[in-house]
Amino acid sequence: MTHTSSGPLSDIRVIEAGTLIAGPFCGQLLADFGAEVIKVEDPGVGDPMREWGQQKHEGRSLAWPVIARNKKSVTANLRAEEGQRILRELVATADVLVENFRPGTLERWGLGYEQLQEINPGLVLVRVTGYGQDGPYASRAGFGAIGEAMGGIRHVTGEPDRPPSRVGVSLGDSLAATFSALGAVMALHARQRTGRGQVVDTAIYEAVLAFMESLLPEWEFAGYRRERTGSVLPRIAPSNAYPTADGAEIIIGANRDTVFARLCEVMGEPELSSGEHYGTHDARGENQEELDERIATWTRKFDADDVLGRLHEAGVPAGRVYTAEDMMADPHYAARQAIVRLMHPQLGEFPMQNVVPRLSETPGEVHSVGPELGQHNEEIYGEVFGADAEQLRRWREQQVI
């Protein structure tokens, strides 16, 4: 079977049996860096992400080509005995299996890790769930939104006088998937020494919790409970969104003493940086609201481009709040090729975010949009099973693939 890549994971085969985002984004990250990712989907319907997404174009999901990029698609009914046999045969050839079923599902199918290790002792099994593989909540259904709530980020997101908000993407799922990809690579590295695979157990709520900075010791030692604070962090000033004369909003981050001094120079009020009211980090924190209004009074005098030009020249971190339209028009995005365009067989030229991070010697790449359902059945099953057209036809008739 042909798999050509210069990426650092080009010698790794991944079987992805997950759906939606928490498992598949892990697969996407591994595929971005050269792993051969074979996505196993239900016959006939496939991953729900083929239909999901906030927008469609010509009846097609605009999310699927991104999260399934660089992958190969095969179909197998894992609830049927023959479909389970297919997965076992695939696992025998693989380095990593990624799944995000509810705990116990693989075990019910006779595909628990003990059974899989008998087939392939070096297998790394990546398991992404809401609550992890054990503990009193393990059997609960878990979506990313619930993990965000339990992990703490929902409580601190939004305006203080409104219910908890969410960010506009599936943050919990994506964080869990990112940690899972890191776990997979670490487990593969350990395998070089031990020759053995292992289980990577990622709970969505724990992935969110890992991002919560000093939230826990703040409560334990100071009795301080973080709350929703809108666009600011308490006592970190100035760092906020400020209005401009042309109706835009810009972000300015000048809470460090030296940077704040540069901001005061640009504003024509250099004395503010050494005065009692704003001269120290603590003083600016105490007078945060008043300081923000003072800066907003200044930014309202200028159009966004004008004020940003002044700030950039002075070395003050500042920028627009970007939309997709801004990203596609931005020269820095273009210079660093942060957006890559591929040909979609039905939709034509298709833009998406490029690979992160950049590696100087073995970079990742995006070489294909998400595949059609079962597009690689003949290629993969021909190699693994020696299956010919007649075998594939029988499996289809039996609804195995």
Task: Give me the active site residues, please.
Answer: 173
Instruction: Quickly count: other Cβ atoms within 10 Å of residue 226's Cβ.
Output: 16
Q: Which fold has domain 13-211+337-397?
A: Rossmann fold (3.40.50)
Give yes or no for residue 260 having a pLDDT over 90: yes
pLDDT, position 2: 57
pLDDT, position 55: 85
Give yes or no for residue 4 having a pLDDT over 70: no
pLDDT, position 375: 97
DSSP SS3 for 327 = helix
What is the distance, to the nearest Å, from the Cα of residue 363 to the centroid of all Cα atoms in its chain?
Answer: 19
Sheet holding 199-203, edge to edge: 71-75, 36-41, 13-16, 96-99, 124-129, 199-203
pLDDT in tens, 293-314: 999 999 999 999 999 999 999 9
Region 253-259: mean pLDDT is: 97
Lowest-pLDDT range of 13-17, 51-55, 76-80: 51-55
pLDDT in tens, 195-238: 999 999 999 999 999 999 999 999 999 999 999 999 999 999 99
What is the distance, to the nearest Å, from the Cα of residue 248 to the centroid of all Cα atoms in its chain?
Answer: 28
Region 109-128: mean pLDDT is: 97
pLDDT, position 54: 79
Burial class (CB within 10 angstroms; exposed 0-12, middle 13-18, buried 19+) of 397: exposed
Give yes or no for residue 1 having a pLDDT over 60: no
Please tell me the distance from the alpha carbon of residue 179 to that of residue 204, in angstroms, as a whole number: 10
In CATH terms, 239-322 corresponds, of 3.30.565.10, 3.30.1540.10, 3.30.530.20, 1.10.10.10, to 3.30.1540.10
Q: Is the peptide bond before 238 cis (omega within 30 degrees of 0)?
A: yes
pLDDT, position 81: 96
pLDDT in tens, 27-58: 999 999 999 999 999 998 999 999 988 788 98
pLDDT, position 188: 98
pLDDT in tens, 129-172: 999 999 999 999 999 999 999 999 999 999 999 999 999 999 99
pLDDT, position 44: 87
Please tell me the distance from the alpha carbon of residue 349 to that of residue 343, in angstroms, as a whole number: 5
User: Structural domain boundaries of the chain?
Assistant: 13-211+337-397, 239-322
Give yes or no for residue 278 having a pLDDT over 60: yes
Band of residue 6 on the pLDDT scale cut at 50, 70, 90: confident
